[in-house]
Amino acid sequence: DTQMTQSPSSLSASVGDRVTITCRASQSISSFLNWYQQKPGKAPELLIYAASSLQSGVPSRFSGSASGTDFTLTISSLQPEDFATYYCQHSYTNPWTFGQGTKVEI
Amino acid sequence: QVQLQESGPGLVKPSETLSLTCSVSGGSISRYYWSWIRQPPGKGLEWIGYMHHSGSNNYNPSLKSRVTISLDTSKNQFSLKVTSVTAADTAVYYCARVNSGSNYLAFDIWGQGTMVTVSS
């Protein structure tokens, strides 16, 4: 299985901060990497697909990038509604797996 | 606007079969791949498997021997069955649509999720 390792597992930030979350794949997954946001008691929502493509309706402060097997989600200016847990997920080979999540807190 | 809604029993006894249905509204199920994902309380997400209307499917090997996903195009629904459940199958179960392109496969629309508890 391809393991997805996210870091950090949690972080504290303030409104307006630039936030970066990293996800490392244990082997090549090409660009089959997605990012989701999940708020408590809610289903995840797709933010970024294909490593760097912004899902329709998602604010432009969210962006994704890739370098080999390292992937990054960046929030350029953290807003109050962005406090949530973020997951990366690959869909390159079976089984599709998620990272363990990064909780963004105040 | 496509919407998904899970339904099914919230309580299942150990060793029995968990059965859930996902109703799709606002679009046809005869396109896309359709998938199930679960999340144990306080934990992360686990992909269960997907099915396409063509009959193509793919399951997580960790669950493959106990899982079946099927589509009912006449009802615009798809379903999940997990046999021989144990407490480890207790989770929120989500259904989701898989959108695809040449370089991506992503869960772009999710149901709200339904909590299933395995207990006697």
CA distance B88 to B62: 12
Contact assignment for A50 to B58 by CB distance below 8 Å: no
- Indicate which of B98, B104, B110, B115 best probes the interface with A, i.e. most A CBs within 10 Å of its own CB: B104
Cis peptide bond N-terminal to A8, omega within 30: yes
Which residue matches tokens 């898989």?
A: B98
How confident is the model over A34-43, as a mean pLDDT? Answer: 98
The Cα of B27 is separated from the nearest Cα of chain A by a number of Å equal to 18
Cα dihedral: B43, B45, B48, B50 (round 10): 160
Cα A94 to Cα B84: distance, rounded to the nearest angstrom: 23
CA distance to partner chain B, nearest, from residue A63 (Å):
16
- CA B86/CA B12 separation, integer angstroms: 9
CB contact under 8 A, B105 and A46: no
Residues A43-78 pLDDT 10s? 999 999 999 999 999 999 999 999 999 999 999 999
The string of pLDDT tens digits covering residues B44-97 is: 999 999 999 888 999 999 999 999 999 999 999 999 999 999 999 999 999 999
Report d(CA A106, CA A90) in Å as an integer. 28
Q: pLDDT, tens digit, for every residue of A75-105?
A: 999 999 999 999 999 999 999 999 999 999 9
Residue A80 in contact with residue A37, Cβ under 8 Å? no
Q: What is the pLDDT of residue B31?
A: 86
The minimum CA-CA distance between B60 and chain A, rounded to whole Å, is: 5
Mutation for B interface: A42, A91, A92, A98, most B CBs within 10 A: A91
